Amino acid sequence: GVAHALHKRRCLCSKLAMSQVVVRDPDVLERKKASIRDVGPGKLQVIADFDGTLTKYWCNGVRGQTSHSLLQQGNAEYDAKRQALYEYYHPLEISPTIPIEEKTKLMEEWWEKTHGLLIEGGLTYDAIKKSVADASITFRDGVIQLFEFLEEKDIPVVIFSAGLADIIEEVFRQKLHRSFKNIKIVSNRMQFDESGRLVAFKGKTIHVFNKNEHAIDMAAPIHDKFGSSDSPDVNGTFVKDRTNIVLLGDGLGDLGMSDGVSFEHRIAVGFLNSNIEKSLKDYSEAFDIVFLNDAPMWGVVDLVSELC
Ligand code: TMP
């Protein structure tokens, strides 16, 4: 029946994914897997980036959008202002010559200005819903099965994003039609007034250079739908004792997401979405497993199944 068809499809997709995967040192990977398996799922957590990692880089033939880029404020002047900031600051974000301390200051500046424009331009929750409905954004195949598997095994997933939590949650609602009790989204959270207008951002700003487990403590409380803030496992304690990590990212900087955890074993999985020839060497040295060509998530589903 359906289960069999799904299984067949997964096997086929896993085989396809095989041809798009690079593992620099299979022995090291096997040793890490064995060590993680030995201590069991109670010590495991998954840390994932959102844009370009859980979501596809290409979506129906066009570049997949991010939580920032999909947002249409319903106010053309302010959309243009945010775009202008992107054009100024994004080259600085990826510049190979600016030192990290200086970049951090620039990123704080960028995030502050963008968040300010969202408030000033009168963003509403309805505009978020409409933006997500109109967006080119889609989860990789197998993401829902990955989350379901991890939920069943009580393995927490922390999604770190320097984007916008409220938009990510709306993407979950519209594309997956559900939330997961084992998933925490650590990202920038908005505060709306009774009429649904954005009035402020909660907690400390999370930008590209501080999105890691240090940020869990300073981030705003987790949204109701994704775990009530009364629950004992909220924020740091949710993952504090879990010293084995599967990390999923699409940029070399995503490896920093596990900063703040003194982990024992970490399997880092990278999705190399662009500049493949130029970046493959760096990626395969930094990540234990590299998936190419906008691969589905089935390879990660297989990996975590092997760990539990
Ligand atoms: P992340 O998705 O890897 O967590 O990073 C967020 C990305 O969002 C980062 O590459 C910069 C980008 N960004 C925008 O596109 N527009 C913005 O207004 C801001 C502040 C960031």
Q: Is 49 a catalytic residue?
A: yes
Q: From ligand 1's centre to the CA of 289, what distance in Å? A: 25
The pTM of this model reads: 0.89
Report residue 55 as tokens: 């979501």
Name residues of the chain where pLDDT drops below 50: 17, 221-235
Cα–Cα distance, 218 to 186 (Å, whole number): 10
Q: From ligand 1's centre to the CA of 58, what distance in Å? A: 17
Q: From ligand 1's centre to the CA of 243, what distance in Å? A: 28
Alpha helix (H) ranges present in the chain?
A: 2-18, 26-39, 76-94, 100-120, 125-134, 143-152, 165-171, 215-218, 276-286, 298-307
156: buried, middle or exposed (CB in 10 Å: 19+, 13-18, 0-12)?
Answer: buried
Antiparallel, parallel or unpaired: β 289-292 and 58-59: unpaired
Q: From ligand 1's centre to the CA of 163, what distance in Å? A: 5
How many other β-carbons are positioned within 10 Å of the β-carbon of residue 230?
Answer: 8
Cα–Cα distance, 55 to 297 (Å, whole number): 10
Contact criterion met (CB below 8 Å) for 56 and 66: no
pLDDT value of residue 214: 78
Determine which residue's CA is closest to atom 8 belonging to ligand 1. Answer: 163
Residues near 112 by beta carbon (within 8 Å), at least 6 away in sequence: 205
Alpha carbon dihedral 133, 138, 139, 142, in 10-degree steps, equals 120
Quick: pLDDT tens for 159-192: 999 999 999 999 999 999 988 999 999 999 999 9
Residues framing ligand 1 (Cβ under 6 A):
49-51, 66, 68-69, 82, 85-86, 93, 110-111, 114, 161-163, 208, 211
294: left (phi over 0), alpha (psi -120 to 50) or beta: left
From the CA of 82, give the closest atom in ligand 1: 18
Best of 55, 57, 68 for a ligand 1 pocket test (most atoms within 8 Å of beta carbon): 68
Helical (H) or strand (E) element with 186: strand 183-192
Catalytic residue among 27, 49, 141, 250: 49
Q: From ligand 1's centre to the CA of 80, what distance in Å? A: 16
Catalytic residue among 27, 38, 51, 233: 51
CA 252 centroid distance within chain = 13
| Nearest by Cα to 300 from 46, 30, 44, 38 | 46
Determine which residue's CA is closest to atom 5 belonging to ligand 1. Answer: 162
Q: Is 233 a catalytic residue?
A: no
pLDDT value of residue 220: 52
244: left (phi over 0), alpha (psi -120 to 50) or beta: beta
From the CA of 51, give the closest atom in ligand 1: 2
- What's the chain's length in residues? 308
DSSP 56-104: -SEETTEEPP-TTTT---S-HHHHHHHHHHHHHHHHHHH-SSS-HHHHH
